[in-house]
A and B are shown apart, each in its own frame.
Chain A
């Protein structure tokens, strides 16, 4: 599905990552890899350092911290927030929605819409799309889009498919109306729920409530130990899906926007692992310097937050005074895949802070 938005823009991006850093070297003994194999995977996949929450920190804690940082530094005015959107797959509670919890913590105005969206790797794109749709309303001039996940709390430490990659974090993106009538944002999005179990936490919902049984660790054919309460990823299926679906999606987006690949300054993609991104860059035909793949090795894969993290980490400073044409892409849980072509310029802020 192709989408087009006029007269909207991003005016600031903040990423908040836990200060707590764990390293692959310290965790290698959990995974049953030989030392030589670990070293190879470190280079190829980008296993290195990742930021994960300590204790029982929740998405609302990190989001509130980030919002307070913006308010305290005069980068956001509480009364101007007309919509508070949170994209997460690790909410504080089943009910109420975590965006309402954050609304309460910040004591925001009551004339506001709060909304949680359950999306993962493509969640930044889904959140942007929803935010742009809200900005079509006359009464909505500023949307605060939060993406956040603390999925490290749902990954088995003895699951070598997922644990070396998973990071936690949240991002806050400010979206406003753009007075420039010529600004156009192009996007596309696709869904295939047939493969909904390719990335799943089987237990803990109403279908299979958590119990002593669902918390029991079991060994899979590859020697990973995880329970039904843990995140499970069919890595081979996800890799194949990404390599099959993402390159034609980007081709289709560029054709829809009537833009050549050479005119795009950066390709800021979801960061599943270094190898997958390099293969995508090769297939799409862009250099690695235009499609950064360094987020997993420095922060871990924090689901939908990996795209704003990638922007802040690689070009955050430059975006304060420059104008770039950027192709965004998210793909994963659902399965959902989406891309967007957007001009980002002269941001009020674009940085990463520690929680």
Chain B
């Protein structure tokens, strides 16, 4: 299974996600990237992240993305 970091790197290869604790505020992800990220996460983990959960707070960093996936019943 593709890791969250690998998915992020595929979306923004030029960004260093390991050096940021807030991808949105640090400019690593914009709203268009979030849409692509959700699509890739849905595919990789066979889930459908709820539309109401697609808010910046849930995509701040790898931990918050993990929390979102755990909420959807994904085993990480």
Binding site for B on A (CB under 8 A): 33, 37, 40-41, 44-45, 160, 222, 235-236, 239-240, 242-244, 275-276, 279-280, 282-283
Give the distance in Å from the alpha carbon of A44 to the alpha carbon of B38 in the complex. 10
Chain B: interface residue total (CB-CB under 8 A)? 16
- For this complex, 7 residue pairs linking A to B, each with C-beta atoms less than 8 Å apart, are A45-B35, A235-B31, A239-B51, A240-B52, A279-B54, A280-B51, A282-B48
- Is A44 touching B51 in the complex (CB atoms < 8 A)? no
| Contact in complex: B35, A283 (CB < 8 Å) | no
Cα distance A167–B52 in the bound complex, in angstroms: 27
Q: Give chain B interface residues in 8-62, CB to chain A under 8 Å.
A: 11, 30-33, 35-36, 38-39, 48, 50-52, 54-56
How far is the CB of B58 from the nearest CB of chain A, in Å?
A: 12
Q: Choose among A44, A243, A244 the residue that contacts B36 (Cβ–Cβ < 8 A).
A: A44
Query: Which residues of B are found within 8 Å of A279, using beta-carbon distances?
Result: 48, 50-51, 54
Query: Which residue of B has the minimal Cβ distance to A41?
Result: B32
- Which residue, B11, B54, B56, has most C-beta atoms of chain A within 10 A? B54
Contact B32 A37 (CB under 8 A): yes
Nearest neighbor of A243 in chain B, beta-carbon distance = B51
**Pairs A-B, 10 closest by C-beta atoms:** A243-B51, A279-B51, A282-B48, A40-B36, A243-B52, A44-B39, A244-B52, A275-B35, A44-B35, A236-B31
Report the separation of the CA atoms of residues A44 and B35 in the bound assembly, to the nearest whole angstrom. 8
Q: Which residues of chain B have a CB within 8 Å of any CB of chain A? A: 11, 30-33, 35-36, 38-39, 48, 50-52, 54-56
Q: A40 — which chain B residues lie within 8 A by C-beta?
A: 11, 36, 39
Tell me, in angstroms, the Cα distance from A242 to B51 when the chains sit together. Answer: 9
Q: Is the CB of B30 within 8 A of A222?
A: yes
Chain B residue numbers with a CB within 8 Å of A283 are: 48, 50-51
- Report the separation of the CA atoms of residues A160 and B30 in the bound assembly, to the nearest whole angstrom: 12
Q: Which of chain A's residues have a CB closer than 8 A to the CB of B30?
A: 222
Specify the chain A residue showing the minimal Cβ separation from B56.
A236
Contacts of B51 in A (CB 8 A): 239-240, 242-244, 276, 279-280, 282-283
A280 CA to B52 CA, complexed, in Å: 10
Q: Which residues of A contact B35 (CB under 8 A)?
A: 41, 44-45, 275
Q: Could you list 4 further interchain pairs (A-B, Cβ under 8 angstroms) beyond the known A45-B35, A242-B51, A244-B52? A: A240-B55, A243-B50, A243-B54, A275-B38
Say how far B54's CB is from chain A's closest CB, in angstroms.
7
A37 to B11, CA, bound (A): 8
Q: Which residue in chain B gives the minimum CB-CB distance to A38?
A: B32
Chain A residues with Cβ below 8 Å from B52 are: 240, 243-244
Closest A residue by C-beta to B32: A41
Best-surrounded residue of A40, A240, A244 (most CB of chain B within 10 A)? A40
Q: Which B residues touch A282, using CB under 8 A?
A: 48, 50-51
Nearest-Cβ distance from residue A236 to partner chain B, whole angstroms: 6
A279 to B54, CA, bound (A): 10
CB distance from B36 to the nearest CB of A (A): 5
**Which residues of the partner chain B approach A44 to less than 8 Å between Cβ atoms?**
35-36, 39
Q: How far is the CB of B8 from chain A (nearest CB, A)?
A: 13
Chain A residues closer than 8 Å to B38, beta-carbon distance: 275
